[in-house]
Amino acid sequence: MIFTKMHGLGNDYVCINCFRERVEDPSGFARTLCDRHYGIGADGLILICPSKVSDFKMEIYNSDGSVAGMCGNGIRCLGKYVYDYRLTGKETLSIETKSGIRNMHLHIQDGKACGAMVDMGVPRLNAHSIPILSEKDLVINDPIEVQKKNYRMTGISMGNPHAVIFLEEINGISLEETGRELEFHPRFPERANIEFCHVTARDRMEIRVWERGVGETLACGTGACAAVVASVLNDLTDEEVIVKLLGGELSVRWDRKVNHVFLEGPAVKVFDGVL
């Protein structure tokens, strides 16, 4: 089986072309391949599949084998793969995901895709649809407690659940402890991705991400989108923001006229391999 290792700002994936390969047990396969000591090592597994409703279908599995509904960095890697390996000559693509169809426009340089602008769709704010257990319809600046510490979160779904927390300082937090406990907090029936954010200007912020089923990652595309939506809802930033993550920067814009979030960033091939 041939695979390709790719990443978006260090958020790395093993990509399998399912037009020619067959994966029998993708959850177990993801756990094996993504192990950083006994496998290839990655945050997740991406299966690039045929689709009856769009150009391609993306199936994505976290490193613990759980299914991810959507991935902003992963979908850019898929776009680079299908263009560079000549599965398509189109620069504008529609991709079927578990969270719906997403459209993206590839950035081409020297005949290869180097990144993309992705329409990440409509941010879901209703607590039930995220899901977050709440008596209120919207979870904005809502208190939550872990380890006897009180935080305030804003809940958003970008195809997967996010809880965004704004702090004055994010580098001193132990995400291994706090992030894990928040991920499994009883208020999140399907667990949640957790973003710790520090706003530095109306158009810039820094975030650290604890990704559901993975742990702390160098970048998270849906997390960056959720953070910007949350910052606008809390009147901390404007609608277009540069988001600085551990692995680099993403550009996020929430166009409130059409109520869609747009994400722009790079995609990089690391290497090809054979299993």
Annotated binding site for substrate: 11, 62, 72-73, 160, 193, 211-212, 221-222
Active site residues: 71, 220
Q: Which amino acid is at 111?
A: G
Taking Cα atoms as reference points, which of 217, 79, 233, 67 lies closest to residue 141? 233
Structure tokens given for 193 = 């991705």
b/e sequence 153-168, b meaning 16+ C-beta within 10 Å: bbbbbbbbbbbbbbee
Q: In the Cβ-directed half-sphere of 83, how many Cα atoms lie within 13 Å?
A: 28
Q: In angstroms, what CA-CA distances link 16 with 66, 178, 198, 272?
A: 17, 33, 36, 10
Q: From the annotation, which residues make up the binding site? A: 11, 62, 72-73, 160, 193, 211-212, 221-222
Closest of 78, 81, 44, 59 to residue 193, by C-alpha:
44
